[in-house]
């Protein structure tokens, strides 16, 4: 699936300027979304079905920067009240959820 063909570039654009726990959390959430999306692939190979490549246009990047940064500021305020242990626990649960939902999707879809 070519959905995430430019994944690193797009991911780094969204994470640009972030550090610490905020960057770690958003990075994990983005990876979870990528994993879930890829797990929905039905095994279509090149030349069969339709291939979708998604990238942001310059206007889309501007919109993402405006909206994503506002949301990240709100998240930063929330995560700023959490201890390192709470952040680690949150990341652990997020990874566990990702793995479990991936298994369910693979078994049931």
pLDDT tens-digit profile of 46-93? Answer: 444 566 556 677 787 777 777 877 887 888 889 889 998 998 898 899
Mean pLDDT lowest among 14-18, 54-58, 100-104? 54-58
CA angle, 77 as apex, 73 and 81 as ends, to 5°? 155
Q: What Cα–Cα distance (Å) separates residue 105 from each residue in 38, 39, 50?
A: 11, 7, 21
Q: Where are the domains of the chain?
A: 7-108
Which residues does 32 contact at the CB level (< 8 Å), separation at least 6?
94, 95, 97, 98
Per the confidence metrics, is the pTM higher than 0.85?
A: no
**Mean pLDDT of all residues in the chain?**
75
């Amino acid at each position: 699936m070519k959905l995430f063909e430019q994944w690193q570039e797009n991911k780094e654009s969204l994470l640009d300027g972030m550090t610490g726990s905020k960057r770690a959390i958003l990075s994990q959430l983005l990876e979870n979304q990528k994993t879930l999306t890829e797990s929905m692939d039905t095994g279509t190979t090149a030349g069969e079905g339709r291939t979708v490549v998604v990238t942001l246009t310059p206007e889309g990047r501007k919109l993402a920067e405006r909206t994503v940064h506002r949301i990240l500021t709100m998240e930063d305020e929330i995560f700023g009240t959490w201890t390192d242990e709470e952040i680690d626990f949150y990341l652990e649960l997020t990874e566990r959820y990702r793995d479990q939902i991936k298994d369910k999707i693979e078994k049931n879809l």
